[in-house]
Chain A
Amino acid sequence: MSGREQILGTIRRSLKRDALSGAAREAAEARLRQHPVNIVPARAAGTPDERLRTFEHWATFNHATVARVAAAEVPQAVADYLTSNNLPARAVMAPDPALDRYDWGGRPLLELRRGLPLDADRVAITGALAGIAETGTLVLASGPAHPTSIHLLPETHVAVLREADVVGPMEEVFDRLRARYGEGVMPRTVCTVTGPSRTGDIEQQLELGAHGPRRLHILLVGD
């Protein structure tokens, strides 16, 4: 008997039934198809403006920094952030076409490379699929526009998030994923990132920058 049969057989014997069938099976299938929403915290609700404020509040609470800027100011805001943190004006940028709408050429001193990150890269610039207001969380989906390692290897991550992409609760991200990839389909990774990398493993004291970025800076871009 295969391990599979053995495990499924024991489960069914313990539950005192055969494989699900009839109405019970249909109900379980319907649940997967309909994926009903459970309880959504009230703090995730609100007008678009309130959502932005909620996002900013919780992102900051979780040790990210947030700056609200207009689209035309994005390259300048990145350059300023790097300068003020004594970081080199050099970064690896995700090959995300959504980032092409900003006038990077207008900041010739900002040296950008598009593509996969190298271990030596100190700064990464990426877009984001969405922001979750409820917890101040960034949502990063893998794909040609976004290698997963780009938001993990460099010590500093600057994420460019459009205001229109800030949703209330996590459930709204799932709706967007289903609309983009199809029902029940996910890209290889969907990383939800709340603040920079951290550890409390030495005497339970918070230290930032364990394996991932030490700094997470979010540019919240109005149109």
Chain B
Amino acid sequence: MQSTAHAFKANVGHALVDDNLQQSLAILKVGFSERRRQAAERLPEFEALRDRARDIKNHALAHLDFYLEAFEAKVTALGGHVHWAPTAADARAAVLDICRRAGARTVTKSKSMIAEEIALNDHLEAHGIEPVETDLGEYIIQLRREPPSHIIAPAVHLTKDQVADTFLEHHRKLGFDKRLTERNDLVAEARQVLRRRFLEADVGITGANFLVAETGSSMLVTNEGNADLTNTLPRVHVVIASIEKVIPTLEDAATLLRVLARSATGQESASYTTFNTGPRRPDDPDGPAEYHVVLLDNGRSSVLGTQMQDMLRCIRCGACMNHCPVYGAIGGHAYGWVYPGPIGAVLTPQLVGVEEAGNLPNASTFCGRCESVCPVRIPLPKLMRHWREREFERHLTPASVRQGLALWAFLARRPQLYRRATGIANRMLALFGRADGRYGWLPLARGWTRHRDFPAPQAGGTFHAQWKARGGARR
């Protein structure tokens, strides 16, 4: 997908005035986080499992080459094929080649963030192969030609009415000419339409939540069952996964699964957790004759061993965005690329460059909620801070911010002057205050006050003045 992360500020402006989006975000903010909280409470071992999940991923990353080779050996021994793709272009080419050899006209897909990352659908379409998304949310946004706005709930930005309009527009030609108003009718209609597509597809493409080195299995976690139909009905099954998905054993998978579903949707377990291992066996009554795994690197291998390595532990549960006040205000599209929210603010500069996506790590209040819910304990605020520093070093920060920071640094090194300046500012601010102790408008700060109030300083002078009045650092 083409990034619009550079236009982050404009994207945010649109998001804040989009009523449908704001309506959807209001549901999201309570729903996901409340369900996660309850699920965590039901499992006393949850925090210990998070520690263990972090350790498993760290171990896997420190031995990544070993486990990838072990995984490959297992897949190959079963007659499957592993394709190593250093870049997005390599991965697209590998998938297209498999589809062409299979003589594919249509492929069904179950939701894959890696497919979004490499813009697979556009590539297949450009070469005359029709990709059909089968996850309901992905299907809806595919019809609308929109990117996903959330990594586990791609259509979370849409209301039921918008879905109803979209279905009417696209399903009319298939003989469904009634505009539906009930959710269950919409789901049933999509089921009917997609069932036909499942039965006629030549190739099924899925992502993977984990790759298990011990057995050569790729694992998928879904609620709808679309991934299972995708990997079972067509003649060819292609798994696309990034290299950091590999973990050592089935036991490790069990631990990660226990934190994944609870962090993502607050479920005890997703409806379908499936281990796929190789192509159909000689005495199997169904299943694909061919099984391929495309392993995508796309810059991840060079993140190993750096301060940013922690980001590779991510299991794509979405909890960080579900709990993020910034995501909750602007939704996923504003981030401009595949991965939104806190993990997007960390991954996107890595994958598309800090020049393009330098704004994203700045879209944080550093409240720390993302880190506090991340099942593999990724220090997201620390990683965002790292990008901010890199952006600043490379002079990508806007002049106003740089000048502001330079002025602050100048004053901070001159305590006398600093106290005088902040004292004046404090008294100036008092002139603009409202009765409720907030500002709706401030000179030089319109960018802030257009969408939110600025809190007025409390009575009693600056922090320094109050500190002094209370006797300074007494113990």
Interface stretch of the complex, out of A70-78, A103-111, A159-167, A182-190 = A182-190
**Complex interface residues of chain B between 302 and 317 (CB less than 8 A to chain A):** 302-306
Cα of A64 to Cα of B34 in the assembled complex, Å: 23
Q: Which 3 A-B pairs have the closest CB atoms?
A: A212-B225, A210-B224, A201-B137
Q: How far is the CB of A96 from chain B (nearest CB, A)?
A: 11
Residues of B contacting A144 in the complex (Cβ-Cβ under 8 angstroms):
283-285
Does B74 lie within 8 Å of A192, measured CB to CB?
no
Binary B-proximity of A19-56 (CB < 8 A = 1, otherwise 0): 11000110010011001111101110000000000000
Return the chain B residue nearest A144 by Cβ. Answer: B283
Which B residues contact A (CB, under 8 angstroms)?
Answer: 24, 27-28, 31-32, 43-45, 48-49, 52, 56, 62-70, 74, 83-86, 90, 134-137, 140, 153-156, 158-160, 163, 183-184, 186-188, 190-191, 194-195, 198-199, 213-217, 223-226, 228-229, 231-233, 243, 248-252, 254-255, 257-258, 265, 267-281, 283-287, 295, 297, 301-306
Chain A hits for B258, CB < 8 A: 41
By a CB distance below 8 angstroms, the chain A residues around B280 are 188
Contact A15 B305 (CB under 8 A): yes
Asked if A147 is at the interface (CB within 8 A of a chain B CB), the reply is yes
What are 20 A-B contacts defined by CB distance under 8 Å? A7-B84, A10-B86, A15-B62, A35-B248, A38-B49, A39-B45, A61-B268, A148-B232, A148-B286, A170-B257, A185-B215, A186-B275, A189-B231, A191-B274, A200-B223, A203-B160, A207-B183, A210-B225, A211-B198, A212-B229
Interfacial residues, chain A to chain B (CB-CB below 8 A): 2-4, 6-8, 10-12, 14-16, 19-20, 24-25, 28, 31-32, 35-39, 41-43, 58, 61-62, 95, 115-116, 119, 135-137, 142-144, 147-149, 152-153, 169-171, 174, 177, 184-205, 207, 209-213
| A142 and B301 form a contact (CB under 8 A) | no
Partner of A202, one of B56, B186, B306: B186
For the residues of A in contact with B, the DSSP-based class is: loop
* Closest chain A CB from B228 CB (angstroms): 5
Cα(A3)–Cα(B45), bound, Å: 41
Q: How far is the CB of A37 from chain B (nearest CB, A)?
A: 5
Cα(A48)–Cα(B195), bound, Å = 40
Residues in chain B near residue A24, CB distance under 8 A: 63
Given A38-B255, A152-B225, A191-B272: A204 and B301 interface contact (C-beta under 8 Å): no
Q: By the criterion CB–CB under 8 Å, are B199 and A119 in contact?
A: yes
Residue of B nearest to A5 (CB): B84
With A144-B284, A202-B186, A204-B156 as given contacts, are A212 and B272 in contact (CB-CB < 8 Å)?
A: yes
Q: In angstroms, how far is the closest chain A Cβ from the Cβ of B79? A: 11
User: Could you say which of B154, B163, B187, B281 contacts A210, with CB atoms under 8 Å apart?
Assistant: B187
Give Cα distance in the complex from A147 to B228, angstroms.
Answer: 12
Contact in complex: B225, A197 (CB < 8 Å): yes
- A42 close to B274 (CB less than 8 A): no
Question: Nearest chain-B residue to A186 (Cβ)?
Answer: B277
Chain A residues with Cβ below 8 Å from B43 are 41, 43
Question: Nearest-CB distance from A203 to chain B (Å)?
Answer: 5
Shortest distance in angstroms between A137's beta carbon and chain B's nearest beta carbon? 6
B283 and A143 form a contact (CB under 8 A): yes
Contact A15 B84 (CB under 8 A): no
For B64, the chain A residues whose CB sits under 8 A away are: 11, 15
Contacts of A191 in B (CB 8 A): 228, 272-275
Complex: A189 Cα to B78 Cα, angstroms: 13
